[in-house]
């Protein structure tokens, strides 16, 4: 039996590996990757590499073993995730894994924005498969904002169409710690965790934290959805994805990413990372 992390070279996957290594011998961890060369640093730590591709179901045939605990990290290619996830679920079922944990989205079936669609379908596929499962419904990553500090600092404004909506975000490291806890602990089969930060904040508050961290005056500029989409496309975001981001902002305005269930802090055994701390770290490297 191994603890198997799919998408192990991705931003979240790498952090899950780090969390696991803090408590689990490397010999008990396996990493599913598309590119063994890219994953060489993982292999160098004594972790078994299992090479496969979500887009090639035949490559997943021998990736899992009976009794494995598997983390299915959702694919990053919006619009292609349902067939990709289906291939993983089918392979996991054929192998007889002991647990399939899936990184979905906050709100699960109740999330009514476009980015949630493929996650909801995937959860249903997992339920239909009969696999022992755990749903990790991740909220918004704080890094979704702090990774885009450059244009904010250049223009002196955080631009969105989220109104006065609030976001209970957490860091990738927080979500990774939760995934590791579920993969190494007991009592999580059949659970659906609504994972989010301890505090829901507004974009006005986010702008104020950037101001304090930089000493520059940063404002939150709420714009109509159509104007925001035009700005995103003008900045090089593909039109279909700009539309999704605008739709997420509408969801934020409706309060759908403001849930503070406390599930994340309980799983990781500590408070979630404060927004100000993540902002300060991002500003220091901007």
Superfamily of domain 3-139+172-195: NAD(P)-binding Rossmann-like Domain (3.40.50.720)
Q: What is the pLDDT of residues 122-153, one digit of tens each?
A: 999 999 999 999 999 999 999 999 998 999 99
- The residue among 162, 178, 158 whose CA lies nearest residue 170 is 178
Q: Does residue 250 contact residue 113 with C-beta atoms inside 8 Å? A: yes
pLDDT of residue 78: 87
Cβ-Cβ contacts under 8 Å for 22 (sequence gap 6 or more) = 180
Q: Does residue 7 contact residue 32 with C-beta atoms inside 8 Å? A: yes
Whether the predicted pLDDT of 118 surpasses 90: yes
CATH topology of domain 146-166+198-259+272-285: UDP-galactose 4-epimerase; domain 1 (3.90.25)
Query: Beta strand pairing status for 69-72 and 157-160?
Result: unpaired
Q: What is the pLDDT of residues 144-182, one digit of tens each?
A: 999 989 999 999 999 999 999 999 999 999 999 999 999
Whether the predicted pLDDT of 16 surpasses 90: yes
- The residue among 266, 67, 47, 69 whose CA lies nearest residue 178 is 266
Whether the predicted pLDDT of 79 surpasses 90: no
Q: Where are the domains of the chain?
A: 3-139+172-195, 146-166+198-259+272-285
> Residues of the chain with pLDDT > 70: what percent?
100
> Residues of the chain with pLDDT > 90: what percent?
95
Q: How confident is the model at residue 52 (pLDDT cuts 50, 70, 90)?
A: very high
- The residue among 123, 125, 140, 170 whose CA lies nearest residue 275 is 170
Taking residue 186's Cβ as centre, other Cβ atoms within 10 Å add up to 6
């Amino acid at each position: 039996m191994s603890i198997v992390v799919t998408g192990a070279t991705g931003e979240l996957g790498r952090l899950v590996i780090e969390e696991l290594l803090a408590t689990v011998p490397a010999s008990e961890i396996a990493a599913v990757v598309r590119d063994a060369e890219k994953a060489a640093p993982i292999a160098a730590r004594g972790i078994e590499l299992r090479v496969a591709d979500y887009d090639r179901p035949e490559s997943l045939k021998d990736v899992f073993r009976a009794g494995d605990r598997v983390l299915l990290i959702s694919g990053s290619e919006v619009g292609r995730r349902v067939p990709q996830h289906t291939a993983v679920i089918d392979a996991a079922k054929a192998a007889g894994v002991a647990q399939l944990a899936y990184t979905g989205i906050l709100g699960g079936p109740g999330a009514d924005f476009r980015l949630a669609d493929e996650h909801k379908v995937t959860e249903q596929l997992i339920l239909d498969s009969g696999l022992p499962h755990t749903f990790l419904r991740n909220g918004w990553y704080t890094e979704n904002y702090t990774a885009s500090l450059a244009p904010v600092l250049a223009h002196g404004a955080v631009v969105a169409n989220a109104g006065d909506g609030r976001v209970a975000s957490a860091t990738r490291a927080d979500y990774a710690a939760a995934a590791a806890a579920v993969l190494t602990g007991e009592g999580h089969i059949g659970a659906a965790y609504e994972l989010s930060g301890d505090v829901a904040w507004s974009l006005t508050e986010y702008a104020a934290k950037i101001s304090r961290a930089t000493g520059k005056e940063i404002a939150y500029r709420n714009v109509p959805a159509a104007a925001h989409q035009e700005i995103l496309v003008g900045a090089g975001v593909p039109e279909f994805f700009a539309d999704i981001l605008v739709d997420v902002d509408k969801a934020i305005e409706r309060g759908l990413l403001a849930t503070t269930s406390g599930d994340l802090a309980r799983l990781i055994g500590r408070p979630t990372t404060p927004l100000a701390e993540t902002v300060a770290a991002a500003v220091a490297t901007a």
